[in-house]
Amino acid sequence: MLEVKNLTKSFDSPSGKVTALENVNISIKTGEFASIIGKSGSGKSTLLGVLGALDTPTSGSIKVDNVDISKLSANKQTAYRSKKIGFVFQQYNLIPNLTALENVMLALEFGGMPAGKRKSRAEQLLDEVGITPDEMLRKPTRLSGGQQQRVSIARALANRPSIILADEPTGNLDSKTGKMIFDMLHKLSRSENTTILAVTHDMDIAGKTDRTFTLVDGKIVA
Amino acid sequence: MNVVSRGIKNAFRSPMRSGAIILMLAISIGLILSMLVARSSVNAKIDQVKSNAGTNITITPAGVFGFAGGGNNLTSAQVSQISKTAHITTTTAALNDQLASTDTNLTPSLTLGNFGARQARFESSSSNSSASNGGPTAAELASRPAPTPHTTVTGTTNPNSISTNGSNLSITNGATIDGNSSAYIALLGKDLASKNNLTVGKTFTAYGKTFTVNGIYTTGNTFQDSGIIMPLATVQNLTSQSGQVSSVIAKVDSSENVNSTVASLKSTLGSKADIVSQAQQAADSVSSLQSISGLALASVIGSAIAGAVIILLAMIMIVRERRREIGVIKAIGGTNRKVVAQFISEALTITVIGSIVGLTLGVLASGPMTSSLVSSSQNSSSSTQSGTRDSGGPGGAFLRGGFNRVSSNLTQVTSSITPQVFALSVGITLLIAIIGSAVPAWFIARISPAEVLRTE
């Protein structure tokens, strides 16, 4: 259960105070696949950052399983990110000098899994997203965009998070691969009962999610 | 795959760049080590020169210089006054004499030459000095017997004081003599011994007595190697100069007390003696070494700063370049501590490799670097010292032996890498690594995980 109440985020910029998010209220049930659509500059990424505890809101509350994450200390927020949240980014954001396998194992290390169990768990996760054993030992630059995004999904799933936050997960992929990634996320939300919140500007994809929020100038309009 | 191994792996991520950083670091670390070695070697030499030669005081009768000049020898009362003076630890007394052909059966190994002939030109005319003020006429010179070279006898309480290089007298054959005995024993200079075909155990006559050759010595100085060394008392007795000495070398307990001791000797001996201390001479001699020492210290500090700046800039560059990656690690749950530890391990890897290469370079370079530093500075300073050395007649070398050895020894600074110096340079290197990682660590801590959402 994700509950966002009266969330406001503003920055101080040279030209004065900029309000990126204004009084946002969202409620997403566990296992729901929701999407946020909006033009660039509408505050989508800011909302995702605040929800993922990458950034702190100016005011308001974000409750994940009844814990207000905006009130946590920096260390607790880091722990929250590692255990409760999985991120999938448009740029994949894999660590360039680690292999696909090591990238997933890194997330497992931060999640607190004992060193001995990490490798088999990472292999299992990568296998689930369709990465072959040969591809597991490759570095990100030697994988295609679709393969990289699948590795990043495996990484996001590593610590069995309650929410997966996806920032334009299909934005850098061709439509066929994008659909495959979308279907994979959709399947996960069903099989693992994981809440998924995806930011996108692709109306096609948004239309297939359980719920769609539209963000205009930092406000939810629908 | 833990934090440390990720850091080590990252250090080799860009081999060309890491290689360049390591090379720059190695040069500065090598410079640190070799400059520390140069400094400690030079400082050791300064201490040695100050403690050895710098504390000697030479006391000679007023007006006497070698065999030239005139005046009265120092008396036994004066010698005992000198040895009782505060801060004087040991005294070496010597009485010089010259053997003419009538005093000995030895053939002098020195020939008169132009120099000796000129020095000897007054000798036979001294008793019947002519009234004419213009010196001996050509006729008078012709009527004199041809002057002969003399053999120098040094009666000394310590034969090692004849040595010209500061160490013990080099005995090539036989054994040294006891300077405090009054036996008819002698050490012969190498040249004199070979001229007279004398070897250890053979005898010769001097002052009407038969002397046994106890040993043959060599100093590398032709004047000294043509002489005889006898116990002081022997020479005093045979020349009817009991208790008299023509020079005393007094050693002061520490270099700080030299000036005050000279002053107190001047007041007790008054105008009867000339007193020369080596303190000033030694200070002049080591001043160039002291400037090398200062220069080396400045280089150590300079290269330590350079090393720290190199690793600092390299790490800042790497951190800036990997801003996004740091953001990703933080976003997926990596703590600040883990990210900082990873970068410190990367910085340490580079520093360790750099210091291994650098210390190897330093070990190889420190010897040549020290000697080139010392010899180049000595070349510039020797010209200012030469003027003080070359004066006086025969025998003057005896007085100045101590001074000569100060200067000649200065260029023999041997560089040695002591464990302390090595440990110090390792310590400085470690400091460089800490400075080089601490500042980037601060940058890392300030990178927000929200960095990942930034689109380029």
pLDDT tens, position by position, A103-116:
999 999 999 999 99
* Radius of gyration of chain B, Cα coordinates, nearest whole angstrom: 34
Task: Report residue B347's pLDDT band, with 50, 70 and 90 as the boundaries.
Answer: confident
**Range of B153-167, B190-204, B396-410 with top mean pLDDT:** B190-204
Contact B146, B152 (CB under 8 A): no
Closest-CA distance of chain A to residue B451, Å: 9
Q: Give the whole-angstrom CA distance, residue B420 versus residue B423.
A: 5
Rounded to an integer, what distance in angstroms lies between the CA atom of residue B46 and that of residue B284?
Answer: 11
Closest Cβ–Cβ partner in B332, B450, B455 for A82: B332
pLDDT at res. B146: 59
B330–A78 C-beta distance less than 8 A: yes
Per-residue confidence (pLDDT) for residue B130, from 0 to 100: 46
Give the chain B residue whose CA is nearest to the CA of A161: B332
* pLDDT at residue number A86: 92
pLDDT of B80 reads 84
Tell me what the mean pLDDT of segment B301-313 comes to.
Answer: 89
Distance from CA of B453 to the nearest CA of A (A): 7
Query: By three-state DSSP, how is residue B171 classified?
Result: strand
Selected residues 2-21 of chain B with any CB under 8 Å from a CB in chain A: 2, 6, 9-10, 13
pLDDT grade for B405, boundaries at 50, 70 and 90: very low
Q: Which residues of chain A make contact with B453, given a CB cutoff of 8 A?
A: 45-46, 48-49, 54, 89, 167
Mean pLDDT computed over A131-145? 94
- Residue in the structure block whose two tokens are 């004081």: B161
**How far from chain centre, in Å, is Cα B270?**
33
CB distance B55 to B254 below 8 Å: yes
Distance, in Å, from the CA atom of A158 to the CA atom of A119, rounded to the nearest integer, reads: 11
Nearest CA in chain A to B326: A95
pLDDT, tens only, B348-368: 898 899 999 998 998 888 888
pLDDT above 70 as % of chain B: 81
Bridge partner residues of B203 (DSSP): B212
pLDDT at position B387: 35
The whole-number average pLDDT for the span A163-169 is: 91
- What are the chain A neighbours of B450 within 8 Å (beta carbons)? 49, 54-55
Q: What is the pLDDT of residue B253?
A: 81
Determine the residue of chain A that is closest to B330 in CA distance. Answer: A78
Count of CB atoms situated within 10 Å of the CB of B277 = 22
- Residue A221 C-alpha, separation from nearest chain B C-alpha, in angstroms: 23
Task: Give the model's pLDDT for residue B134.
Answer: 53
Q: Render pLDDT for B25-77 as a digit per residue (tens, 0 to 9).
A: 999 999 988 888 888 888 888 877 766 656 778 888 888 777 777 788 888 88
Question: For residue range B101-138, what is the model confidence (pLDDT) as tens digits?
Answer: 888 888 888 887 887 777 776 665 444 444 445 555 66
Residue A221, chain B, CB below 8 Å: the answer is no
Note whether A52 contacts B: Cβ–Cβ < 8 A.
yes
Q: What is the DSSP letter of B73?
A: P
Q: Which of 328-347 (B) contact A at CB < 8 A?
A: 328-336, 338
A2, A63 contact by CB (below 8 A): yes
Q: What is the predicted pLDDT for the residue at B275?
A: 83
pLDDT for the residue numbered B412: 65
> Is A35's Cβ below 8 Å from some Cβ in B?
no
A109 contact residues in B (CB cutoff 8 A): 1-2
Average pLDDT over residues A47-62: 90
* Cβ <8 Å between B331 and A54: yes
Q: Would you state the torsion angle of the CA atoms of residues B108, B111, B114, B117, taken in this order, to the nearest 10 degrees? A: 30
| Residue range B178-193: mean pLDDT, rounded | 88
- Percent above pLDDT 90 for chain B: 8
* B228-285 pLDDT, tens digit each: 999 988 888 888 888 888 888 888 887 777 878 888 888 888 888 888 776 666 666 7
pLDDT, position A27: 92
Interface test with B, best of A44, A56, A82 (most B CBs within 10 A): A82
Give B347→chain A minimum CA distance, Å: 17
- Mapped onto helix, strand or coil, the DSSP state of residue A159 is coil
Which range (A47-51, B220-224, B335-339) has the least confidence?
Answer: B220-224
Provide the whole-model pTM. Answer: 0.65
A92 touches chain B (CB under 8 A): no
The count of other CB atoms within 10 Å of the CB of residue B242 is 10
Lowest mean pLDDT among A11-15, A168-172, B73-77, B416-420: B416-420
Give SS3 for B300: helix
Burial of B332 (0-12, 13-18, 19+ CB in 10 A): buried
Question: Mean of the per-residue pLDDT values for chain B?
Answer: 79
Instruction: Determine whether the interchain pair B334/A89 forms a contact, defined as Cβ–Cβ distance below 8 Å.
Output: no
Place of tokens 């659909």: A179
Q: How confident is the model at residue A132 (pLDDT cuts 50, 70, 90)?
A: very high
Query: Which of the residue ranges A6-15, B5-14, B248-257 would you say has the lowest mean pLDDT?
Result: B248-257
A157 touches chain B (CB under 8 A): no
**pLDDT score, position B382:** 43
Confidence of residue B14 (pLDDT cuts 50, 70, 90): confident
Q: Would you call A93 and B328 a contact, using CB atoms and an 8 Å cutoff?
A: yes
Nearest-neighbour CA in chain B from A50: distance (Å): 9
pLDDT(B388) > 50: no
Q: Check pLDDT > 80 for residue B178.
A: yes
Structure tokens at A22: 């204004």
* Chain B residues touching A105 at Cβ < 8 A: 1
Instruction: With CB atoms and an 8 Å threshold, state whether A110 touches B332.
Output: yes
How high is the pLDDT of residue B133?
54
CA nearest neighbour of B110 among B147, B144, B141:
B147
Using 50, 70 and 90 to split pLDDT, how confident is the model at A18? confident
Shortest Cα distance, chain B CAs vs residue A86, angstroms: 7
Pairing between β-strand A59-64 and β-strand A67-68 as defined by DSSP bridges: antiparallel
